[in-house]
Structure 1
């Protein structure tokens, strides 16, 4: 404490509630933020050590097989994809199990890298599984992976199956039998794949997509399906390095920081409340050209229930008053998985022109014909989230557009939305977002499965580095915190991580 000039804990606690001055408030915040970061770092070091000390099964990577697969793809890999694939293959051939976070912007091609790694594992006699947060995403992975495997000449050689909550009982039983005796090589699914009765013959690589939607617990359950399988976590939410080190310090970090050629930029404009009619007219013009559109309803932080209600009302208003001659779909968080699937299928098949949705549409949905996304109340969302929404369009060959309708024109709101117009680089946006909003809001309140950092600011890079150093020193000196002087710290650590381990 003295080395870092921190206030004593009781003094910091008093000053944070009843500060004598702005200076003492900041000093108190730094002290308590340091405590939060230290507990995270200690937990992360512990998890990492635990995982690295286990005996994994190295994969004998057959480079020829991987190269043949890559050459057979209908597009070349970018340099970034090749670099990241090399990092993953090196991890796979090591004796301790891989634990890697793969980050890449929307559309940077993470899935194909994961698939190449899966092909390497399967060629060595292992099985691979990928866990997606929703049925829509699982289905999308399944179809795109199956198509890529077919193009690469793997039909009949690699058995790929899809397992979700909607899989029929007879089909499910067949898949379970195939997993248990090794006939099914690659499993794509939702949490249906981490249920008790799913057992795998030889799971060697587990991939988790869209990390921040799964708690630590679900990752653990997937690991249990094999004997210390290699673990790859994929995220399209660009996380600045400081935060990635804090939250995923137990994982090695790989970043795909370049887009495949030909991915066109989505033109982004922010509009004030008085320009709503213009936005609607633009949507209509796009639909007359045969395109489709998303309309995202404003964020209601209080509850899913209120948010769903306002989405239902907005859908009705748009359908009756604005676009009475068009078909509008509706998607919100209170619908069942089955209902969401049906709505998405209609939109994907072109049966609806416009999809009105709450933030549930944020991740991964692929509708190549959708060329415009209109975001209502854009100032209420974080930049990282707006960027995810923007990634829903621009997936086909048509020029695409993102319209940000702001219901607030303060200077701060304007500054944030102008950043969106200026850059389409997710990592730059994430850095900006953190400067503007701080980490507590970074992941949105309802989806993190991460500690809620009450007092840490993301500009606290130095503080984070100090906490990492102190944690490392403590950990090297007393990994179990069993010394008498560390008793209190050990108790705080246990309490802090117990809260996080509850499923998100």
Structure 2
């Protein structure tokens, strides 16, 4: 495009010589731009040329609007410099050869015969040109070698990542942070997104709601603060066809990264603001011209400090090309064919470097199936293993005795059981009357009456002549259960004891003795219940409160204390107050039977929930003072900004100090956070429970389930950073007594998602409805936050993919019925995969 560059250079030089007055051409520089851009685009042949034309067009069109001579001079100098760079890169023109004049020849018959059928001219390339002959072929130009079947190499895949050429000790350490210490594990470091250069769109053709990739030049980047003091970074990006505004939140460092003139790729959803297309928090990366030329789908990998995107991509390309084909496929051939799934080796190659969007979809489908299938196979195995063992039949003598016992229990209560409570009691009593050990999850919202249901089961066990144990994760929760169950059960003839680490030594000895000889019917406690020196005469029912707080080994130790020295399993009931949507609970706890208390007892006082702007925070402090003056207590919760207890604790400590010194100097303000030891947390909770602390500042580690009836205010600062289910759990810490209680939400973000989430919380107190809404808004990955105890981490699958989950569940059941221990030759590899998948969780 020599001519276009020469024309532009002349105009720029003239404008500079005239003092940057926008008079170099009639009508100004903008008028020249409209004429020059069309000609330049026609002459542009390479991607560099096209990118330059669009950048120059932006500068020329907006030149007249620049404020003052200095800004115009800077723009002209910048463009002159770029013109000179492009001219230097232009190949020298070959010398013109003189035409050779040949005498005209008469056409022969062959020359005038019908012409041979000509090939159609190739379609005109829009963004793509072949690389120059004198240029070294790009890594993106190379076509992958035909994929020939190769022998699986499990030993090679088990090697350290340092066996890969180009990976030394330093990079191996970086890869370990990403979760890969072997070559096989590297194959499962999947791209977290893709820049699809086949789906590029010019800005002037963007449509609201679509997810696209846009390439352009940054015109400007600036930062400002919102009314809630949130940092907002905004860039204006242009590709010559139009401009688009891009916004990021709380990422001030982007101002130094996204400099004017930088070419950038952004991928995200096109949203609407004031009638214009915008991007909010899209993914971005500096432009690479190689994949742009070949219109490839480019993987963007997760990174860690010191590891660049290009370096990671180059290493992964080598690993996938060589080792991806050497992965053995554990799925039986008939299953793979029935479900139309790719070979695992093909799926891995396409998941990293897809040939097309369809190939990526098929690869993802196969890998998602693997995740869910291994999850369900493991659960089927646990279920089969549990049900293959025997338990005692908890049956009260005489057919009518059980009904009589439950009738007497209900009559002793000062209230009537809900229909949901009666239904779940029936489900549990039916389970424990058989010799197959019960393994049931009891889910109920805060205040739904789980404890009363547990009491009914404990009573049935005692009346049938067996012992029970109820294990809680903390001493204060164990004491709470003891204080609630002892007055319910002892009048009915059930002997109850409390055993925790704080129990006096002589009291412990008495309890040990009476548990061993059967005098005590029900032991309530913490992990002290599963110590070696604790033995039961005939433990038949074990209840665990808040399952996710216990490790699997602890639950197993309790189970092993069953009748006949552990040869018979006790029946196991797990209680959880964490609302989980039923569909998700079935997939997460597929090895358990599920009971749900979906009805609240009548007369329970509703907690009033308000969502206020940050500027009204002082009003809330004033309200808390008034509540404390009447003898009440309050919680103030601060969010987990990152998944780091240290970062979280620093924030809580600073706020606690400020609140104690500046806001509530005459009150006692306590502090609890993840950096405290278990004993320190317990001491703080005791002080709050006893009323020594008026206001408790906490992070999200606040104890689930602790009843402090005197607490009436729950202030959640930064409420937009929590999920709905978690916010609902916090709200459940108040409203436990006779006094009207309040939950006040302060958001430090004004996003649409925050509005939807917090608006939902103010409208309902139904934990299950909120859990469904939370799942819909955030998806299962963020719904659970850190990995659940006892569950493997899913690499690609979403637990919301109910169709694929159902397929995986059905296939897992079919295999488990035929070969429950996966002992058949065709299932050997599958058994290894299941063991590996679950190895760090059970």
TM-score by length of 1: 0.94
Residue aligning to 1:210: 546
Greater alpha carbon shift after TM alignment, 306-315 vs 93-102: 306-315
Whether 2:821 is the aligned partner of 1:485: answer: no
**Which of the residues 52, 56, 81 maps onto 2:421?**
81
Task: Decide whether the 8 Å contact of 1:283 with 1:293 is kept in 2.
Answer: yes
Whether 2:756 is the aligned partner of 1:415: answer: yes
Whether 2:712 is the aligned partner of 1:376: answer: no
Task: Decide whether the 8 Å contact of 2:714 with 2:743 is kept in 1.
Answer: yes
SS at the partner of 1:102?
strand
Task: Decide whether the 8 Å contact of 2:605 with 2:735 is kept in 1.
Answer: yes
Greater alpha carbon shift after TM alignment, 87-96 vs 6-15: 6-15
In 2: Cα distance, 1:48 partner to 1:343 partner: 40
In 1: Cα distance, 2:630 partner to 2:787 partner: 37
In 2: Cα distance, 1:46 partner to 1:123 partner: 34
In 2: Cα distance, 1:322 partner to 1:261 partner: 38
Whether 2:436 is the aligned partner of 1:101: answer: no
Whether 2:664 is the aligned partner of 1:323: answer: yes
In 1: Cα distance, 2:479 partner to 2:351 partner: 49
Seen in structure 2, the aligned counterparts of structure 1 residues 114 and 57 have a Cα distance that, compared at 3 Å, is: same
Greater alpha carbon shift after TM alignment, 243-252 vs 317-326: 243-252
Task: Decide whether the 8 Å contact of 2:384 with 2:820 is kept in 1.
Answer: no
Residue aligning to 1:196: 532
Residue aligning to 1:161: 497
CA-CA distance at 1:22 after TM superposition: 5.0
RMSD of aligned Cα (Å): 1.8
Residue aligning to 1:59: 394
Whether 2:484 is the aligned partner of 1:144: answer: yes
CA-CA distance at 1:122 after TM superposition: 0.7
CA-CA distance at 1:24 after TM superposition: 4.3
Aligned length, in residue pairs: 497
Seen in structure 2, the aligned counterparts of structure 1 residues 199 and 493 have a Cα distance that, compared at 3 Å, is: same
Task: Decide whether the 8 Å contact of 2:547 with 2:575 is kept in 1.
Answer: yes
Query: For residues 260-339 of structure 1, what are the structure 2 equivalents within 5 Å?
Result: 260-339=601-680
Listed as ranges, the gaps of 5+ residues in structure 1 are: none
**Which of the residues 520, 523, 548 maps onto 1:184?**
520
**Which of the residues 367, 372, 390 maps onto 1:32?**
367
In 2: Cα distance, 1:213 partner to 1:453 partner: 20
Task: Decide whether the 8 Å contact of 1:362 with 1:389 is kept in 2.
Answer: no
In 1: Cα distance, 2:360 partner to 2:636 partner: 42
SS at the partner of 2:702?
helix
Kindly provide the CA deviation profile for residues 215-237 of structure 1, in whole angstroms up to 9, marking residues without a partner as x: 33222111001131111011111
Greater alpha carbon shift after TM alignment, 105-114 vs 14-23: 14-23
CA-CA distance at 1:6 after TM superposition: 2.9
Task: Decide whether the 8 Å contact of 1:58 with 1:94 is kept in 2.
Answer: yes
Greater alpha carbon shift after TM alignment, 80-89 vs 330-339: 330-339
Task: Decide whether the 8 Å contact of 1:439 with 1:456 is kept in 2.
Answer: no
Greater share of residues in helix: 1
SS at the partner of 2:338?
coil
Query: For residues 461-472 of structure 1, what are the structure 2 equivalents within 5 Å?
Result: 461-472=802-813
In 1: Cα distance, 2:340 partner to 2:391 partner: 43
Task: Decide whether the 8 Å contact of 1:451 with 1:500 is kept in 2.
Answer: yes
Kindly provide the CA deviation profile for residues 75-128 of structure 1, in whole angstroms up to 9, marking residues without a partner as x: 211111011001111111112111111111011000111111101101111100
In 1: Cα distance, 2:477 partner to 2:356 partner: 51
In 2: Cα distance, 1:121 partner to 1:214 partner: 24
Query: For residues 396-415 of structure 1, what are the structure 2 equivalents within 5 Å?
Result: 396-415=737-756
Task: Decide whether the 8 Å contact of 2:789 with 2:841 is kept in 1.
Answer: no
In 2: Cα distance, 1:335 partner to 1:170 partner: 30
Residue aligning to 2:706: 365
CA-CA distance at 1:15 after TM superposition: 3.4
Seen in structure 2, the aligned counterparts of structure 1 residues 423 and 360 have a Cα distance that, compared at 3 Å, is: same
Task: Decide whether the 8 Å contact of 1:272 with 1:409 is kept in 2.
Answer: no
Seen in structure 2, the aligned counterparts of structure 1 residues 283 and 27 have a Cα distance that, compared at 3 Å, is: farther
SS at the partner of 1:184?
coil
In 1: Cα distance, 2:838 partner to 2:793 partner: 11
Kindly provide the CA deviation profile for residues 15-66 of structure 1, in whole angstroms up to 9, marking residues without a partner as x: 3334455554444333222211111111111111121122211011332122
Seen in structure 2, the aligned counterparts of structure 1 residues 119 and 414 have a Cα distance that, compared at 3 Å, is: same
- Higher relative CO (CA 8 A, sep ≥ 6), structure 1 or 2? 1
CA-CA distance at 1:135 after TM superposition: 1.4
In 2: Cα distance, 1:25 partner to 1:436 partner: 25
In 2: Cα distance, 1:398 partner to 1:292 partner: 11
Kindly provide the CA deviation profile for residues 370-421 of structure 1, in whole angstroms up to 9, marking residues without a partner as x: 1110112212212111111110011112221111211211111221211211
CA-CA distance at 1:67 after TM superposition: 1.6
**Larger Rg over CA atoms:** 2
CA-CA distance at 1:14 after TM superposition: 3.0
In 1: Cα distance, 2:618 partner to 2:355 partner: 51
Residue aligning to 1:456: 797
Residue aligning to 2:455: 115
SS at the partner of 2:837?
helix
TM-score by length of 2: 0.57
In 1: Cα distance, 2:552 partner to 2:624 partner: 41
